């Protein structure tokens, strides 16, 4: 049962443009969401997170938006850079001390 | 390096052998998670441990797989009698005791079963 879904396996964007990565979840009890970035042969690295009490969190070029009614979150990267090319995973968890559920990832390619 | 340390980075085993993967969490972290990534797939939760306790093993296969996080030493993911389908990247992550906190991942251990 995939509680966190990333329906776009891949995305290509021109350098300098905006990248929008999407994520949907099914469990309304999730209250904390995260985005991770992963390069080949490396472990995922934390990018940005958002609590369910917010609908937006911004960190430099990265902004995460949360729409609780739609059970949808998105990651915006602007401007996109070639170094952003990686696989992006969204994750969700509920409360404290519980497992984190990950999506299947979206492979982003930023074209110079 | 104060990050999550996993070893070995690469492990090759023949069918029927045992694989042991080790994970040392970040300093001060007492929560350890194991995830598996099969080729072309996402990260699948396997088990969540705190020191000397298994908190959630709902993602662990019922047979051949076990995990521990002893009072002293690293967390161990053990796979007995490996089969080709066990070939995957196994990632360990740790988090701090309190708060939501993000997971910090290790570089992963890549198991290849011949």
Contacting residues for B33 by C-beta, under 8 A, at least 6 apart: A99, A100, B45, B46, B47, B48, B49, B92, B93, B94, B95, B103
Chain B residues near residue A97 by CB distance under 8 angstroms: 31, 55
Q: Does B33 touch chain A (CB under 8 A)?
A: yes
pLDDT, residue A95, reads 78
Within chain B, strands assigned E span 5-7, 10-13, 19-24, 31-37, 43-50, 53-56, 65-68, 75-79, 88-95, 104-105, 109-113
Q: Is the pLDDT assigned to residue B103 strictly greater than 60?
A: yes
Q: Does B102 touch chain A (CB under 8 A)?
A: yes
Cβ-defined contact of A96 to B4 (cutoff 8 Å): no
Q: Does A106 touch chain B (CB under 8 A)?
A: no
pLDDT, residue A60, reads 97
Number of Cβ atoms within 10 Å of the Cβ of A102: 25
Residue-wise pLDDT tens digits, B63-85: 999 999 998 899 999 999 999 99
Q: Return d(Cα A55, Cα A90) in angstroms, integer.
A: 16
A·B CB contacts under 8 A: 59
Q: Return d(Cα B24, Cα B67) in angstroms, integer.
A: 13
pLDDT, residue B28, reads 85
Q: Does B25 touch chain A (CB under 8 A)?
A: no
Q: Does A108 touch chain B (CB under 8 A)?
A: no
Give the gap in angstroms from C-alpha B110 to the nearest C-alpha of chain A: 9
Report yes or no: B88 and B38 within 8 Å, Cβ to Cβ. yes
Contacting residues for A10 by C-beta, under 8 A, at least 6 apart: A106, A107, A108, A109
Search chain A and give the residue with CA nearest B5. Answer: A43
Buried b (16+ CB within 10 A) or exposed e, A23-62: bbbeeeebbbbbbbbbeeeebbebbbbbeeeeeebeeeeb
pLDDT tens track, chain A, 112 positions = 689 999 999 999 999 999 999 999 999 999 999 999 999 889 999 999 999 999 999 999 999 999 999 999 999 999 999 999 999 999 999 877 678 899 999 999 999 9
Number of Cβ atoms within 10 Å of the Cβ of A109: 14
pLDDT, residue B97, reads 63
Residue-wise pLDDT tens digits, B8-67: 999 999 999 999 999 999 988 889 999 999 877 789 999 999 988 999 999 999 999 999
């Amino acid at each position: 049962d995939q509680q966190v879904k990333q329906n776009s396996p891949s995305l290509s964007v021109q350098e300098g443009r905006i990248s929008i990565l999407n994520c949907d979840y099914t469990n309304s009890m999730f209250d904390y969401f995260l985005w991770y970035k992963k390069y080949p042969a490396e472990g995922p690295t934390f990018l940005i997170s958002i609590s369910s009490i917010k609908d937006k969190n911004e960190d430099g070029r990265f902004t995460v938006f949360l729409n609780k009614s739609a059970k949808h979150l998105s990651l915006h990267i602007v401007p996109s850079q070639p170094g952003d090319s990686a696989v992006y995973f969204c994750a969700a968890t509920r409360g404290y001390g519980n497992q984190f559920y990950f999506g299947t990832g979206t492979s982003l390619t930023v074209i110079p | 390096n104060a990050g999550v340390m996993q070893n070995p980075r690469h492990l090759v085993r023949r069918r029927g052998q045992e694989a042991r993967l080790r994970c040392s969490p970040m300093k001060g972290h007492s929560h350890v998670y194991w995830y598996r990534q099969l080729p072309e797939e996402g990260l699948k939760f396997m088990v969540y441990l705190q020191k000397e306790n298994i908190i959630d093993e709902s993602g662990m296969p019922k047979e051949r797989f076990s995990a521990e996080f002893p009072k002293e030493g690293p967390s161990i993911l053990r796979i007995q009698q490996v089969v080709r389908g066990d070939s995957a990247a196994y990632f360990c992550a740790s988090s701090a005791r309190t708060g939501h906190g993000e997971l910090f991942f290790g570089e992963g251990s890549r198991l290849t079963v011949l």
